[in-house]
Structure 1
Amino acid sequence: MTWRDGKASISRLLLFMASIIIGIAAVVSIQLFSKNLEQNIERQSKALTGADFIIDSRQLPNERVQGIIDSLGADAFEVNFSSMAAFPKNGGTKLVQVRGMEGDFPFYGTLETEPASAATTYQREGSALVDATLMLQYDIQAGDSIKLGLLTLPIAGAINSIPGSSAISTSVAPTVLLPFRFIEQTQLLQLGSRKEYQYFFVASPDMDLDQLDKTLDPILDAENADLDTHNSTSRRIGRSYENLGKFLNLAAFIALLLGCIGIASSVHIYIKEKLADVAVLKCLGASRRQTFMIYLIQIAAMGLFGGILGTMIGIGLQQVFPLLLQEFLPFEIEIAVSPQPIIMGLLLGVLMSVLFALLPLLGTWYVSPLEVLRVSEESPVKSKKARSFTFTAILLFIFLFSFWILKDLLFALAFVLGIVITFAILAGVSALFIKGIRKYFPASWGFTARTSLLNLFRPNNQTMVLILAIGLGTFLISTLYFTKDILLAKTALKNGANDANMILLDVQPEQQEAVAASITPTGLDVIDNLSIVTMRVHSINGQLANEIRKDTSSTINEWVLNHEFRTTFRDSLIASEEILEGNWVKEITPGEPVKISISENLAENAKLKVGDTLVFNVQGVLMETTIGSIRKVDWARMQMNFMVVFPKGVLEKAPQFHVLTTYAPDDSSSAALQRDLIRKFPNVTVIDLRQIYTVIEDILDKISWVVNFMAFFSIITGLIVLIGSVRTSKYQRIRESVLLRTLGAKSKQILRITALEYLFLGILGSLAGILLSLVSSQLLATLLFKEPFVPSVIPFLLFLPGIIILVMAIGLSNIKSVLQSPPLEVLRKVG
Structure 2
Amino acid sequence: MKSSQLIRLALKQSRSDLRTFEWRALLLALLLATTLAGFLSLLGNQLEKGLNRQSASMLGADLSLSDSQPAPAERLAAAEKAGLQYSNIIQFSTMVSTDTQLLLSSVRAVEAPYPLRGEVVTDPPQPDQIPAPGMAWAEQQLLQRLGISVGETITLGYSQFKITAAVISSPDRGTGFRSFSPQLMINRKDLAATRVIQPGSRIGYRTLFSGSEQQIKNFHAQLRSNLTPQQRLWSVYEDQPLASGAMQNASGFLRMTSLFGILLCGLLISLSLRRYSSVQYRRSALLQSLGLRPRQILQLYLLKLLLGWLFAALVGVIAALLLLQLTGSLLQTLLPAGLPAPNYRLTATGPLMSLALLLVIGYSPLLQISRIPVMGLLRRDQLSHQALSWPARLIILILSGGIIALYLGSVSNAIAAILLSVATIMLAGLCASLLLPPAGRLLARRFRLGRLLTYRIRQQRQWHRVQLGIMCLLLTLLSSLLISQTELVNRWRTQLPVNTPNQFVINIQPWELQPLSQFLKDSGIETNLYPMIRGRITLINGQPPERVLDQAQLENNALKRELNLSWSASAPQHNELTAGYWWPDDVQENLISVEQQLAENLGLKLGDTLSFEVGGQQFSATIHNTRKVEWRSFRPNFYMIFSPGVLQNYPQTYITSFRLSDQQTGLSRELLKQFPSLTLIDVSQWIDQASQLIDRLIQASTLILGLTLCAGFVLVQLLVSQELEQRRHENALLQVLGSTEGQTRQLDILEFALLGLASGAMAALLTDVVTGLISYRLLDLPLILHPGIWLILPLTGMLLFTLSALASHRRSGYRQLQRN
Measured against the shorter chain, the TM-score band is 0.7 to 0.9
Match of 1:626 among 594, 618, 622: 622
Q: How does 1:288-687 map to 2 (within 5 A)?
A: 288-315=294-321, 334-335=340-341, 337-339=343-345, 341-376=346-381, 379-384=384-389, 388-398=391-401, 401-402=404-405, 405=408, 407=410, 410-433=412-435, 446-458=447-459, 462-493=463-494, 501=501, 503-509=503-509, 512-513=512-513, 516=516, 519-520=519-520, 522-524=522-524, 527-538=527-538, 540=540, 554=552, 558-562=556-560, 565-585=563-583, 594-618=590-614, 621-633=617-629, 639-661=635-657, 667-668=662-663, 670-682=664-676, 684-686=678-680
Partner amino acid for 1:347? L
User: Is this contact kept in 1: 2:317–2:350, CA < 8 A?
Assistant: yes
Structure 2 distance, partners of 1:803, 1:367, is: 37
Q: Which residue of 1 aligns with 2:747?
A: 753
DSSP 3-state at the match of 1:527: coil
> Does the CA contact (< 8 Å) of 2:33 and 2:350 recur in 1?
no
Within 1, Cα distance between the matches of 2:469 and 2:751?
15
Distance change (3 Å), C-alpha of 1:323 and 1:775: same
Q: Partners in 1 of 2:371 and 2:501 — Cα distance?
A: 73
Seen in structure 2, the aligned counterparts of structure 1 residues 14 and 807 have a Cα distance that, compared at 3 Å, is: farther
What is the one-letter code of the residue matched to 1:417?
L
- Give 1:763's aligned residue: 757
Distance 2:329 2:184 in 1: 27
Structure 1 residue 261, shift from structure 2 partner? 0.8
Of 695, 700, 708, the residue aligned with 1:706 is 700
What do the CA deviations read for 1:314-339 (whole angstroms, capped 9, x no partner)? 5566675799699889x887525352
Aligned in 2, Cα 1:121/1:152: closer, same or farther, shift over 3 Å? Answer: closer
1:79 aligns to 2:118 (yes or no) = no
Given the two structures, how large is their TM-score scaled by the length of structure 1?
0.77
Q: Summarize the Cα distance change of 1:436–1:111 in structure 2 as closer, same or farther, 3 Å threshold.
A: closer
Counterpart contact for 1:570–1:586, Cα < 8 Å: no
Higher relative contact order, chain-length normalized (CA < 8 Å, sep 6+):
1
Aligned residues of 2:173 and 2:179 also touching (Cα < 8 A): no
What residue ranges of structure 2 are gaps of 5+ in the alignment?
1-8, 78-86, 211-217
Contact map agreement 1:782 1:788 (CA 8 A) in 2? yes
1:270 and 2:271 matched: no
Give the whole-Å Cα distance in 1 for the aligned partners of 2:147 and 2:715: 55
Q: Secondary structure at the match of 1:121?
A: coil
How much has 1:725 moved relative to structure 2?
Answer: 1.6
Q: 1:653 deviation in Å? A: 3.6
Any idea what SS the aligned residue of 2:494 has?
coil
Structure 2 contact 34–350 (Cα < 8 Å) conserved: no
Distance 1:248 1:455 in 2: 42
Report the Cα offset of residue 515 of structure 1: 5.2
User: Counterpart of 1:565 in structure 2: which amino acid?
Assistant: L
- Letter in structure 1 aligned against 2:531: S
Task: Verify: 1:250 aligned to 2:251, yes or no.
Answer: no
Q: Deviations over 1:432-474 (max 9, x none)?
A: 3467679x69875654122123222316974123212211110
Report the CA distance between 1:596 and its aligned residue: 0.9
CA distance in 2, matches of 1:252, 1:500: 34
Q: Contact 2:56 / 2:118 at 8 angstroms: preserved in 1?
A: no
Q: Which residue of 2 aligns with 1:2?
A: 10
Secondary structure of 1:626's partner? strand
What corresponds to 2:84 in structure 1?
none
| Equivalent in the alignment of 2:107 | 99
Shift of residue 264, structure 1, vs aligned partner: 1.0
C-alpha contact (below 8 Å) 2:31/2:316 kept by paired residues: no
1:24 match: secondary structure: helix
Please provide the CA RMSD for this pair: 5.3
Residues 229-240 of structure 1 aligned to structure 2 (within 5 Å): 236=239
Contact preservation (8 Å) 1:526, 1:660: no
Match runs of 1:799-814 below 5 Å: 800-814=794-808
Give, in whole Å, the separation in 2 of the partners of 1:324 and 1:547.
56
Equivalences for 1:216-231 in 2 at 5 Å?
216-217=226-227, 220-221=228-229, 225-226=230-231, 228=233
2:204 corresponds to which letter in structure 1?
A: Y
Alpha-carbon shift at residue 198 of structure 1 (Å): 1.3
1:250 touches 1:406 (CA, 8 Å); kept in 2? no
- Report the counterpart of residue 283 of structure 1 in structure 2: 289
Distance 1:233 1:739, change over 3 A: closer
Pair 370,86 (structure 1): closer, same or farther in 2 beyond 3 Å: farther
Measured in 1, the distance between the counterparts of 2:178 and 2:302 equals 57
Displacement, 1:519? 1.3
TM (norm. structure 2) is 0.78
Structure 1 SS opposite 2:109: strand
1:789 to 784, 795, 801: 784
Distance in structure 2 (CA, Å) of the matches to 1:508 and 1:489: 35
Q: Which residue of 2 aligns with 1:260?
A: 266
Deviations 1:233-271 (A, max 9, x none): 766459875542232021112112111111111221222
Change over 3 Å in CA distance of 1:404–1:165 after alignment to 2: farther
Q: Given that residues 172 and 695 in structure 1 are in contact (C-alpha distance below 8 angstroms), is that contact kept between their aligned partners in structure 2? A: no
The alignment partner of 1:99 has SS state of: strand
Q: Which structure 1 segments of 5+ residues have no match?
A: 826-831
Q: Kindly tell me: are residues 56 and 511 of structure 1, through their superposed partners in 2, closer, same or farther at Cα, counting changes over 3 Å? A: farther
Q: Give, in whole Å, the separation in 2 of the partners of 1:712 and 1:367.
A: 43
Using the TM superposition, give the Cα deviation of residue 728 of structure 1 relative to its aligned residue in structure 2, in angstroms.
Answer: 1.9
Aligned partners of 1:254 and 1:636: how far apart in 2? 31
Per-residue CA distance 1:683-734 (angstroms, 9 max, x = gap)? 6454678887766554433222222222222211111111112212232112
Report the Cα distance in structure 2 between the residues aligned to 1:184 and 1:677, rounded to whole angstroms: 32
Task: Tell me how far 1:475 sits from its aligned partner.
Answer: 0.5
Q: Residue 639 of structure 1 aligns to a residue in which SS?
A: coil
Would you say the 8 A contact 1:280–1:372 is kept in 2? yes
- Could you tell me how far 1:197 is from its partner in structure 2? 1.0
Structure 1 Cα separation of the partners of residues 194 and 671 of structure 2: 19
